[in-house]
Amino acid sequence: MRKLAAMLLLTAWLVAPTPVGAQSGTGAVPAAPDDGGPRHWEVTDVSSGLNLREQPSTSSKIVLTYPPATILSNLGCQRTDDKVWCDVQKLGGGPRGYVAATYIRPAVAPDGSVPTGPDNSALRAGQRDFDATGKIPCSQVKGQPSSLCDFGVSRAGSGYATVVVTKSDGVTRSLYFVRGQLLGADTSQADGYPAISSEKESDLHLVRVGGERYEVPDSVIFGG
């Protein structure tokens, strides 16, 4: 009976984005994505903010405080001194540290799902294992009229996707999307680490990488 109850509790946790602290009394420690856990957490049930600490302890130094609804990457959790702590980093970058599991819950993606398991979209894109191919509007130089560039996209569900665009000169540019938002691109020292930005117009992502411009529809990222 205890084994059955534990299985039902785990199923409910994966389906419904309830606070992680709701399970802390059972002795269960939330799984990392590589073990089937959620890819990201959302800060919840705090009025003034959630403290990020250097170590998994209430006596450890506070690095910063996250406001409610902040999205954090799930880097694994552990139990220390009968309290569950999770190793996290803010989505998009920032200091890495520990937060009390009581105040986070599995983050819901824009499509309403709770993504679990590893995001393998970049790995698959590097192997040219694409879910879809086609063409999108693009330009290589600022002010240049748009033309059509070939693309391939590898998806990991719920807005996690890597879009590889082949420019007119034959060079590729990879664009990384997480939760339906542009997270970065494969820039390097060779091209001067150009500035990266993205704005949304209806269902279209207008992505700029230095003087390059790409128009990526939601349907490329989410599928359908």
Does 24 share its domain with 98? yes
115 occurs within a structural domain: no
| Sequential DSSP letters for 95-150 | -EEEEEGGGEEEPPPTTS---BS---HHHHHHTT--SEEEEEEEESSTTPPPEEEE
Band (80; pLDDT cuts 50, 70, 90): very high
Does 52 share its domain with 126? no
Position 26 scores a pLDDT of 45
Give pLDDT tens digits for 49-79: 999 999 999 999 999 999 999 999 999 999 9
Give the per-residue SS3 of 45-90: CCCCCEEEECCCCCCCCEEEEECCCCEEEEEEEEEECCEEEEEEEE
Contact 36, 116 (CB under 8 A): yes
**Mean of the per-residue pLDDT values of the chain:** 89
Position 33 scores a pLDDT of 98
Band (144; pLDDT cuts 50, 70, 90): confident
Expressed as residue numbers, the domain containing 69 is 2-106
**Which of 82, 106, 130 is the C-terminal boundary of a domain?**
106
Give pLDDT tens digits for 156-182: 999 999 999 999 889 999 999 999 999
Give the distance from CA 107 to its chain's centroid.
10
**Which of 47, 77, 106 is the C-terminal boundary of a domain?**
106
113 occurs within a structural domain: no
Position 27 scores a pLDDT of 55
Higher-confidence position of 24 and 69: 69
Whether the pLDDT of residue 36 is over 50: the answer is yes
Mean pLDDT of 34-59: 95
How many independent structural domains does the chain possess? Answer: 2
Mean pLDDT of 198-211: 96
Task: Please state, for a pLDDT cut of 70, what percent of the chain lies above it.
Answer: 88
216 occurs within a structural domain: yes
Does 97 share its domain with 128? no
Domain of 68: which CATH number? 2.30.30.40
Contacts of 2 (CB under 8 A, 6+ apart): none
